[in-house]
Amino acid sequence: MAGLIKTNPTTPLRAGPTTSLRAGPTTSLRAGITPPRWLLAELTYACPLQCPYCANPIDYANYQAELSTEDWKRVLTQARKMGAVQLGFSGGEPLTRKDLTELVKHARDLGYYSNLITSGYGLTEERIIQLKEAGLDHIQVSIQASSQELNDHIAGTASFEHKKEVARLVKKHGYPMVLCVVIHRENIHQMAEILAMAEELGADYLELANTQYYGWAHANRDLLLPTKEQFEQAEAIAQAFKETVAGKMKIYYVVPDFYEDRPKACMNGWGTTFLTIAPDGVALPCHSARELPGLDCPNVNDYSVEEIWNESKAFNFFRGVEWMKEPCRSCDEKEKDFGGCHCQAYLLTGDMYNADPVCSKSPDHGVIAQAIDAAAASALSANEKPLIFRNSKNSRLLS
């Protein structure tokens, strides 16, 4: 596109703010700090499902407090002013919040692109219409498997037919429909059927999310982690399928990092893009960061989003490369992956300053092979321990 338009435009480029809420100066940033673009609003930890790979913290039951409607509105306004534009309403199950429509309306007035990330459980046609009118842009429905039996087993709740119906209604009411399926050892053999189901439901996007092993998934890893062969077979099926749905459905694939040589660029760089607000108002640089020790994550009840983003210890913790130890410090790829995922380093090596052990340069890389071997052994074992489902009782037991 460079050089396309050779003269200066004669008309002003700016479309101008669409509502008064969007007006006003944008806030200033400290040197070297980029503004948040993505705000993940975890409205609640309450959820009717019990998925054993839930990304919520294991000890979520200890955090009962929830921000009020006015608190959320203030947070949305402050983050938008800084430049956040993508907004995810998540949880838990965000539909359990009675003020969801009101928050969606507020977000739309501010100019956010709003994504509802839901299990679909309890979503009625009436509410789908109501949310659309309030300005919701997109609904992502998760389905746990391509068969009722497995879906309902993994979800811990009979929900398969209802989810499929919700997916159809989402489509019917003109939303882009995103189907999200978390992939793990229990359902990876269904890849072909999952793809066919997404096509049959008319999904515009399909997210095939290989499980990331934090939170509940870490606790259940031996039962969830597939073998390399299973991954490769499933990915080959998805790769072949994408051609048949070109122009109709986009497929996104979340990389299974245990089988990669290099770690993921955690959160696109700590404190560069993503801001998560937990149900009780704690601001997190990543939705798993609550697991990390000593971050002292600030609360939006005590500080503005701007103060939190710019000044807080938590958000500055892993900014840049100064914090790094070897082998990251002298690595020529450190600006590319930022040392990988700190939660993974912490969970697998006990030290969050270590390189993500997924990296083949990490002295702890062997723990990945051990985890893979342990999962394979568990799969073959005659008395494999059962999955730990995500619910308040288990949360209290484990925390």
Partner 1 sequence: MAVNPLMKPLKPDTKMTINPELPITFSRTHRLQWEEAQQKHVILYPEGMVELNQSSAEILKLCDGSRNLAQIVSELEQKFATVGLTNDVTAFLEVATQNGWINQN
- Judged by the rule CB under 8 A, the positions of this chain that interact with partner 1 are 1, 3-7, 9-11, 13-17, 22, 26, 35, 37-38, 40, 81-83, 85-86, 88, 111, 113, 115, 137-138, 140, 174-176, 178, 204-205, 207, 209, 212, 238-239, 242-243, 245-247, 250-255, 257, 264-268, 273
CA distance 13 to 26: 18
Dihedral sign, CA of 44, 136, 273, 368?
A: positive
CA distances from 233 to 226, 230, 353, 382 (A): 11, 5, 34, 25
**Beta bridge mates, 42:** 90
CB neighbours of 67 closer than 8 A, spacing ≥ 6? Answer: 43, 75, 277, 279, 280, 281, 300, 301
Nearer to partner 1, 91 or 156 (CB): 91
CA distance 109 to 273: 22
Q: Please report where in the chains the tokens 């008395």 appear, as a residue.
A: 383
Question: What is d(CA 78, CA 72) in angstroms, rounded to the nearest whole number?
Answer: 10
DSSP state of 394: H
| β-sheet bridge partners, residue 206 | 179, 251
Least separation in angstroms between CB 178 and partner 1: 5
Q: How far apart are CA 203 and CA 21, in angstroms?
A: 33
Among residues 274, 320, 236, the alpha carbon closest in space to that of 82 is found at 274
